[in-house]
Amino acid sequence: MKYPKLFEPANIGSMTLKNRIVLSPLHANFTVCDKYTDRFVKYYEERAKGGAGLIITAHIKAEKDIDPYPKTFGYPIFDSAAEIKYFTDLTETVHKYGTKIAIELSPGTGRIADEPLPDKRPVGPSEIPLLTMPDVKTRELTKDEIKQLVKSYGKAAGLAKAAGFDAIYVHFLAYLGDQFLSSCWNHRQDEYGGSLENRMRFLLECIESVRANVGDDFPLIVGIALDHGFAGGRELEETIEIAKRLEPLNIGALHLRRGSYDAMSLLIPTPYVKDGIAVDYAYEVKKAVNIPIIVDGKLPNAAYCEKLLEEGKTDFVGIARQFVTDPYWPKKAKAGKEDDILPCIRCVQCINRVFFSKSSACSVNPQFGREFEGPLPKTKEPKQVLVAGAGPAGMTVAKFLAERGHSVILAEKSGELGGHLIEAAVPAYKKETAAYLRWLKKQVEENPNVDIRLNTEVTPEFVSSVRPDAVVVCTGSAPYVPAVPGIDRSNVKLATNLLVNYKDEEVGDKIVIVGAGLVGCETALFLKEQGKKDITLVDMLPEVAQDVIYLARLSLLEKLQEEQINSRTGLKLKEIIPEGIIVENEKGETQTINADTVIIATGLTSDNKLYENLKDETEEIYAIGDCISPRKFIDAVQEAYAIAKII
């Protein structure tokens, strides 16, 4: 067996797990009317089947009367025996595979409230601004209300035990519980505020209430932040003290993460954040107490997790997004089949979508969230399908069409599979994207139903010669090149070409990148990796990285600042000269920005010529991905899966 430490049985209190792999909480927003549906149950079932030792559910609230928020995320509420049947379906399903399950139970939301109701002001430990609406402040909870929250919390824990949960996860990170613990948010003047002893009172009373309803031996896991990641927030030293004060309370484990919703790049790490962002901090807690710990935060693979366990840095590994991309990664890792694991590219689309009130979805695994649909059905009428273009859309649709039993010709006019994934995977910090590209190529190269034809441009004549039953056009997009004087000078490089064919001697020391979207910003970070120091991003928009999704953008901006990459916004490119570029501001004033090398990253333009030429001549034809309009990987992959299902 590979990774013996990772796959050895271990205990959290009286609960024995078959391995040390924990599915960390990740809310996918698959609820309906704030209840777990079959969609959510099947999502968890697939992860249990895939080898998770312990599943921690997403956020579940203990009550809705005092703190009814948030209203848009669909968090279930476990406040009555009527809810037991919904949760029993979940626990019984998970238990079939020898996996244990803990309920992430929250006492409230506090300043993370959304869309305030006109007659129900959000509440908190103190009067503090809401995270997303700082002009709105919470109302300070009364002591009677706190007592009611504590009582409701214990009652919900008792109901959870009755529903078959194996442990209670006491959720005191980011939400109301954390706000009571932390002096940056808790400004109370009574016994629930001030000293650490007072600020911990709400947590200790919640634990006491849980014990009164589940018994002294029932496993409890406490989830807390190692630090908040912003000035004035809690630091590691105080978290260590909190852990010490929890030690006498028979806590089964501590689940430790860095960050808060005010420091999202620590809480939900992106490609721009180092691996194991919380490991060293969590280890300091582990050295201070005898409570087993679960560490979370960008643990890249099984080998990394095994090393952490061997070195005694943690007792369990908490992983969420790798379970999104590949629910079977534990079984594959245990069998030594790591190359078959579909890697997470850290794009944070799964979580970003939930923040904007959508169901979660994955950029690389279109079957995530569709587990309730069952396996992809085999076709009853096998066809020969021509797929034109082998970028992420083309390779994905070819993979799924072949799995359904169709015969696929995957034609790519260049000499390499990958499309824009090729340049996206170049920077060292995008190693997960590089792993995804390798995985996707493996899927089509090793499938006997896929006939790969490189250096083959699909034309109407080629289609006539092949005579396929169906055509899927995935011709993608090409870099947009602005028509300005000097664009063809020798000091001008296209960002997409530069990433793939980088040569240090062809790039000067003073660099200007025209276009500060995702490609421009990531090219700047790549050039920093190569040792370039003087890099300036220039864009006509008022801010950089405007095309980057919300959660990733915050992290990217932090990384650009950390790497001291300059930016000049509100400037339109007018001309490229030997000394650099001439730009124009909104007032029509021109200026020169000096540069040895000018890099163009002004976006992409769709290549839909083939589709336009074929659409009236081909009976069954589809277009997916960037040839419709330049977008994200998630759009290409999701569209590819949808088309593969209907052909």
Q: List the catalytic residues.
A: 175
DSSP bridge partners of 451: 409
Residues 433 and 390: beta-carbon distance below 8 Å: no
Cα–Cα nearest to 341, from 202, 439, 464, 241: 439
Report strand pairing: 123-124 vs 100-106.
unpaired
DSSP bridge partners of 260: 263
Cα–Cα nearest to 294, from 305, 621, 143: 305
Burial class of residue 545 in the structure, from the number of CB atoms within 10 Å of its CB (0-12 exposed, 13-18 middle, 19+ buried): buried
Region at 389 (left for phi over 0; alpha for psi -120 to 50; beta for the rest) = left
H helix or E strand, kind and range, residue 401: helix 392-404
Report strand pairing: 590-594 vs 580-584.
antiparallel
Region at 383 (left for phi over 0; alpha for psi -120 to 50; beta for the rest) = beta
Amino acid identity, position 638: Q
| Cα–Cα distance list, 55 to 101, 186, 252, 323, 558 (Å) | 5, 31, 15, 11, 32
Whole-angstrom distance, CA of residue 384 vs CA of residue 401 = 10
Residues 238 and 232: beta-carbon distance below 8 Å: no
Whole-angstrom distance, CA of residue 417 vs CA of residue 345 = 18
Whole-angstrom distance, CA of residue 540 vs CA of residue 525 = 20
Whole-angstrom distance, CA of residue 615 vs CA of residue 591 = 47
Burial class of residue 201 in the structure, from the number of CB atoms within 10 Å of its CB (0-12 exposed, 13-18 middle, 19+ buried): buried
Half-sphere exposure in the Cβ direction for 321 (13 Å, CA) = 26
Whole-angstrom distance, CA of residue 382 vs CA of residue 42 = 29
| Cα–Cα distance list, 73 to 45, 139, 420 (Å) | 22, 22, 33
Secondary structure class of 194 (helix, strand, coil): coil
Cα–Cα nearest to 169, from 222, 127, 126: 222
Burial class of residue 315 in the structure, from the number of CB atoms within 10 Å of its CB (0-12 exposed, 13-18 middle, 19+ buried): buried
Burial class of residue 197 in the structure, from the number of CB atoms within 10 Å of its CB (0-12 exposed, 13-18 middle, 19+ buried): exposed
Half-sphere exposure in the Cβ direction for 147 (13 Å, CA) = 4
Which tokens sit at 424? 């996206």
Secondary structure class of 352 (helix, strand, coil): helix
Half-sphere exposure in the Cβ direction for 182 (13 Å, CA) = 30
Which tokens sit at 148? 């009611």
Residues 78 and 60: beta-carbon distance below 8 Å: yes
Report strand pairing: 384-388 vs 407-412.
parallel
